[in-house]
Amino acid sequence: MDNRPIGVFDSGLGGLTAVKELMRILPHERVLYFGDTGRVPYGSRGRETIRRYAAQDMRFLVQHDVKVVLAACGTVSSTARDIGESLAVPYLDVLRPTAQAAVRQTKNGRIGVIGTAATIASGSYRREILTLNPAIQVFEQACPLFVPLVENGFVAPQEEITRLVAQRYLAPIRERGVDTLILGCTHYPIISATIRSVMGRNVTLIDSGREAAIGCREMLRANGLLNAADATAEYHYYVSDFDEGFRQIAGLLLGQNLNGQVERIDIEKY
């Protein structure tokens, strides 16, 4: 048994989709979350900048004595896996568990991937999928406006601007006849209702935050790192810049009032 917290980080609030799933499947764990709200989005940054940000985020978590680091960020997962794998604690990102879920799900062998510009440019999901099954066809689409829309609260299914942007981005993927779509940025599940309405009911959406959380549970089990079954869950949230939108959207997403529970830190110190 290990009562140290699970460390989770993302460029903003998208990684809370993984935290929400961790709350459900690991109800006795402590979770320490960092959202880099002062530097979001990562997906439009250069590779070296993303890697520098990722290294700082990971150092913050490790210095707070976490037992595992979960990079709940598709952009970091696509560009900084080697940094995570060099940590002194186990590391997991969203790529492998998400790709595995998509390969299991597809029936027609046509998988779509949407993500930030950096994630799509890296080809990371394509490589993961083709390693698992070289016969699968992969169709990718960058959706750079999705993260700013989510971070600014345009998340309700009736938001016209989000629906129009989704229609523009998703049309090429839909025309390819995919039956499975990877939401390759953990912000995207927050607008899954809009994405589903555009893609149609016959397309299965793969939530990268959810799959990463499931992968984290299996990692903890395999390494004997689960907390005691009678332990009380604790959650701590840190950001690099206070943002009322973060507090409000996070509260809605997690079903909790986060007033007084979000602490600002200077990430540049790490």
Q: How many other C-beta atoms are found inside a 10 Å radius of the C-beta of residue 181?
A: 27
SS3 content of the chain, % helix, strand, coil (to 5): 45, 15, 35
- Bridge partners of 112, per DSSP, are 139, 181
Report the alpha-carbon angle 9-118-172, nearest 5.
115
- Size of the chain in residues: 270
Tell me the three state secondary structure of residue 262.
strand
Cβ(30)–Cβ(227) below 8 Å: yes
- Bridge partners of 115, per DSSP, are 142
Clarify whether 216 is annotated catalytic. Answer: no
Count Cβ atoms within 10 A of the Cβ of residue 135 and give its class: 0-12 exposed, 13-18 middle, 19 or more buried.
exposed
CA distance 8 to 66: 9
Q: Give the active site residue among 22, 73, 191, 199.
A: 73
CA distance 124 to 135: 17
Judged by phi (left if over 0) then psi (alpha if -120 to 50, else beta), residue 255 lies in: left
Q: Give the active site residue among 6, 101, 150, 185.
A: 185
Which residues form the catalytic set?
A: 73, 185
